Structure 1
């Protein structure tokens, strides 16, 4: 048997002892001396205070809960003593003679065993009050620590134990070599004699170099007693490494029992199994609530760097970010006392995300265009607002839909600041549950919402709306930007919009209120009604028929979100436009404009984004006119509802479906197509010949008017073939344009051509001269041939057009029509 003797670090528990003699006021002088005694005696009152509480460690094998205190006073007069229950705080001794008195206090458990002891000497003086503090210590001496660990047979090939004991405030003592390990019996044991006090036991059971099971736990040694830790491990307790999949998880929180410790530790927010991608925040609470000196978190036997607070985040950007089995330990110390808590949890891999066609509550509603009076609740200003037709979702985004799109997005280069929560009480980021999957998603920011809209669009095969570059080639795919307005052009709070894109987006504030108020295109729900209600918000029956709010969202489980679509729809068939959750919209918060507007999108910049609709626990007026706002990075009980632009008409300068700019619109219906789209700037070529110098293509390549570029290009490529005949180059202008392929949002565009002289001029006048399209101030080739030697070119510096030898090298920009 191993025996070790170490210098003990003895924890003290202060018990305030107040001795009171009648008529006595101040027994101590300013210099620390005592006043002169007088011949009379007096009474002595002993006041007790203790901070001993229960916690979880490896225990001594005796009951450590204090049942009573034995207080004894011994001095120049007869000895007096009293036994008081631990719930008592004072005891009084009378008729004490003046002189020095020794006060002793013994703390006993329910079996009468003394578990702590303290004493002090005070002088009782006539006409004065003597006071003293008695420090209670565990009985001095030593006690035994026993540790026994067993594991399933053949589960460890080369069992090794690394262990140390660290006394509170002291240095680490390695006890690895004192363990007796029996690989055959699959067990290990330790016995050692230690001075009384508190220690931290750090132990790693390893299989060769791999940690199989970690232990970080507080230990208390009591004089003459045994503190024993017995750990019969199962296969589920052992950490898995290599290719084996993680086993089903379990949570084991309370290893050990009660013991006098500085803290009783509770861990809130824990779940048995955590999905990969889910966020779980563990909150530590202490009893008593006094601040500890040190907090240390361990994961699988290693200290977690930088984690010294009362909470720990598991999941995205926190610890345990990959599937597997984890042991989490928490060690808290105050003075010379130590408490600990241990948890085991599983991060489970999740299956493939579902197809969108399998997800319910995705329907969109067509909203016809019109004009209505937009007015807010509690504000006097209003304006006439002309709204173009659009689509808006029939339901708020459910957590199931949010989760499905988010999972797809994360597999395709997206990132989210917050993974979303299932309703108001569900899990954050985990797989949808049967009971909560159709409740609205909450705890998402405005930034998360626009990134999710882009992902929803791409997952659905539609063009995203929000971009980080002016050419709209890089959709915004990450909402993790920190607090504070990110206001640069293309930043998360100020994205470039492709207003002609067909993808999902946030509705504007005007679109939201228009859809919430619409009845028949002539009549509108008043601003002080809930959406679809038959009376104003002061009528509880009318409002409660269409909206979940603070007055009716408690259906027996407290106020909470409810499944979408369970209240009556409004006149357009849209549910929950009032109530359940607040919904992010596009606009920055500002006062309404003073004059009529067409498709108003709010100010170009601001400090907070608008929310509409009111939530499940709000007492504000549940009306279509009530406005709320918050910072774009904040996430509370906020949800979202998609909208789409359905009238995909384009104006000059808009982005076309292939990602280029619209250079011309055929409003007179002169052609079988409507739009001329210049190719995206990133497809442009420099230093290319027209080709075929001294070779005449002929009349079929000499069209100069709008509408002739495609036929010019086809004739040139037919005549020249793979290489032009002068210099045998395959990269001649018409061939490059003809062979161009652009892929955008899953759609292939391969109908490009070299623009004619007049088409090229439209690209100059309508785009480059307006600062659009990403052209250079240089010459570009057209497809219009002049002769066997020359073709038309145009300067994008000053617009000059003229002939140029076909072997000269210039820039090339393709175009298409649709």
Structure 2
């Protein structure tokens, strides 16, 4: 998530001391891009207003100045060094991002930039799991959850439950920002055969809810592929990044060479194909360390979930897509 504030400062008077000299400050706000999969409602990701505060020479302060416009005029500022903080707020006044800069304001025109690249606060992730009682032959299953943020910090959680209940809910408190969610399921013997990977967006003081259906490997007829597109959102100006997975050949069978392609319908402003990296997962397990928009393999019999996580060099643009492939003999 990136927001740039370009500050243009104009002196309106000239006096002998920093305490007496005053200027006006004009802030131009430009929105950046962002994206995600499991998330709050779109309205809670939209910026409704900006809050700007500052502290300057001899204890001078201003704000908070609130504005829904892209240009904010702040008058009667003392000439000297100022530290200015800007925050982006949603409709519930929860912080989406903030940034800070220190500038020396002098007589005449001044230019300054503040980058809002810090997604602040904590929010809640709620995961609702569903499965059928024939998910495995054991009576108990263990759901292993790993959440990794953009800085590589990892939080893990384990939930053991009887498979007969066919559902479970797990709630986690996470720092605001973009995360990669990895889920794997073990039976009581420690065997792993089911999993999923998703992109997650957390907003301060807000709950992001996702439902994950866990499917066993037992095949059904006819052979098919079903798009389970799970991705996008969080663009401050409302333009989502959307990906889906396509596959060929369409006539799936065991042992046949199969290729998956990550396809997009549009990219946010400022993001190009060369900025993108990809991670492919099968049942929640990383398939290859290589990063490409496609992957090929020999199809196995059964139902398997394939996920792709797409990243770019811009903070907040994490997204993902999923596909369930059902291959019979």
Quickly name the TM-score band, shorter chain normalised.
0.7 to 0.9
The CA deviation at 1:274 is 4.0
Q: Name the SS of the counterpart of 1:15 in structure 2.
A: strand
SS at match of 2:31: coil
CA drift at 1:149:
0.8
The structural deviation recorded for 1:82 is 4.5
- Corresponding pairs, count: 311
Q: Give yes or no for the alignment of 1:332 onto 2:314.
A: no
Question: 1:467-516, CA deviations, whole angstroms, 9 ceiling, x for partnerless residues?
Answer: xxxxxxxxxxxxxxxxxxxxxxxxxxxxxxxxxxxxxxxxxxxxxxxxxx
Q: Which residues of structure 1 form unaligned runs of 5+?
A: 1-11, 25-35, 351-818
**Residue number in structure 2 paired with 1:162:** 144
TM-score, normalised on structure 2?
0.75
The 5 A counterparts of 1:405-444 are none
Find 1:216's aligned residue among 197, 202, 212: 197
Structure 2 distance, partners of 1:155, 1:137, is 41
Q: What residue is the counterpart of 1:282 in the other structure?
A: 261
Q: TM-score, normalised by structure 1?
A: 0.34
The 5-angstrom pairing of residues 246-285 of structure 1 reads: 248-255=223-230, 258-259=233-234, 264-267=241-244, 269-270=246-247, 273-276=250-253, 277=256, 282-285=261-264
CA 202–246 in structure 1, closer or farther in 2 if over 3 Å, else same: farther
Summarize the Cα distance change of 1:210–1:344 in structure 2 as closer, same or farther, 3 Å threshold: farther
By how many angstroms is 1:171 displaced? Answer: 4.4
**8 Å contact kept, 1:270–1:282:** yes
1:304 matched to 2:304: no
In structure 1, the residue corresponding to 2:303 is in which secondary structure? strand
Q: Which residue number in structure 2 is paired with residue 108 of structure 1?
A: 89
Aligned to 2:26: 45
Counterpart of 1:240 in structure 2 is 217
* Structure showing greater relative contact order (alpha-carbon pairs closer than 8 Å, 6 or more residues apart): 2
Aligned match of 1:68: 49
Helix, strand or coil: the match of 1:184? helix
Deviation at 1:98, TM superposition (A): 1.8
Q: Distance in 1 between matches of 2:171 and 2:61?
A: 48
**1:164 offset after TM fit, Å?**
1.6
Match of 1:428 in 2: none
Distance 2:298 2:89 in 1: 44
Counterpart mapping for 1:335-734 below 5 A: 337=316, 339-346=318-325, 348=327
1:81 counterpart = 2:74: no
Q: CA deviation at 1:216?
A: 0.8
Change (3 A) 1:218 1:345: closer
Tell me what 1:443 maps to.
none
1 CA distance for matches of 2:52 and 2:197? 37
Flag the 1:253–1:271 CA change in 2: closer, same or farther, 3 A.
farther
Instruction: Give the distance between the partners of 1:112 and 1:211, measured in 2 at CA.
Output: 43
Residues 171 and 109 (structure 1), Cα distance of their counterparts in 2 relative to 1, 3 Å cut: closer
Distance 1:153 1:138, change over 3 A: same
Instruction: Give, in whole Å, the separation in 2 of the partners of 1:301 and 1:80.
Output: 45
Larger helix share, 1 or 2? 1
Unaligned segments of structure 2, at least 5 residues? none
Q: Report the Cα distance in structure 2 between the residues aligned to 1:143 and 1:227, rounded to whole angstroms.
A: 8
SS at match of 2:323: strand
1:319 aligns with 2:297: yes
Q: Which has the larger radius of gyration?
A: 1
- 1:74 deviation in Å? 5.7
Deviation at 1:79, TM superposition (A): 5.1
